[in-house]
Amino acid sequence: MGRILAIDYGQKRAGLAVTDELQLVPNALASMPAEEVIPFLKNYMKHEKVDVIVVGQPFTMDYLPSKSERYIAPFLKQLQKAFPEIRIDRYDERFTSQLAFQTMIDAGISKKARKDKSTIDRISAVIILQSWLDARGIA
């Protein structure tokens, strides 16, 4: 069984999270500039089997695609081209940044550390992945 990988893709940066091999527990994997995601994944998948990639899908409060979708759509095409054998799912990512920020506060992370947007990206990816797992009754 391969891992499930989630991506919180943004215009400038992306956060990645991945499950264990049993597809039960999500963990933060990395955060990086958005243009480095595909090369990173190519290298990662040389060593790890991935069954599904879950990409956050931003919606407005009215369940319409948000403006962010305009730069996620080209990324999805690149992702499908780079990994045609891997299923790509989308999952609602509304509120993940706010939840990530609140998680850091609840964990007692300092104000200075909470300003690191790459940490928020990684935690957001974990939240997307955990939510996707929960919705499928997997974890």
Domains of the chain and any CATH numbers: 3-135 (3.30.420.140)
CA–CA separation, 64 and 45 (whole Å): 33
Q: If you average pLDDT over residues 98-113, what whole number do you get?
A: 71
Q: Looking at residue 17, what is its pLDDT? A: 97
Q: Is the predicted pLDDT of residue 62 greater than 80, yes or no?
A: no
Q: If you average pLDDT over residues 83-107, what whole number do you get?
A: 78
Tokens standing for 64?
């319409």
Q: If you average pLDDT over residues 60-82, what whole number do you get?
A: 83
Q: Looking at residue 6, what is its pLDDT? A: 98
Question: 6-43 pLDDT, tens per residue?
Answer: 999 988 999 999 999 999 999 999 999 999 999 999 99
Q: What percent of the chain has pLDDT over 70?
A: 83
- Please state, rounded to an integer, the average pLDDT across all residues of the chain: 87
Q: If you average pLDDT over residues 68-92, what whole number do you get?
A: 93
Q: Given strand 87-92, what is the order of strands in its sheet?
A: 26-33, 13-19, 3-9, 50-57, 87-92
Q: Looking at residue 7, what is its pLDDT? A: 97
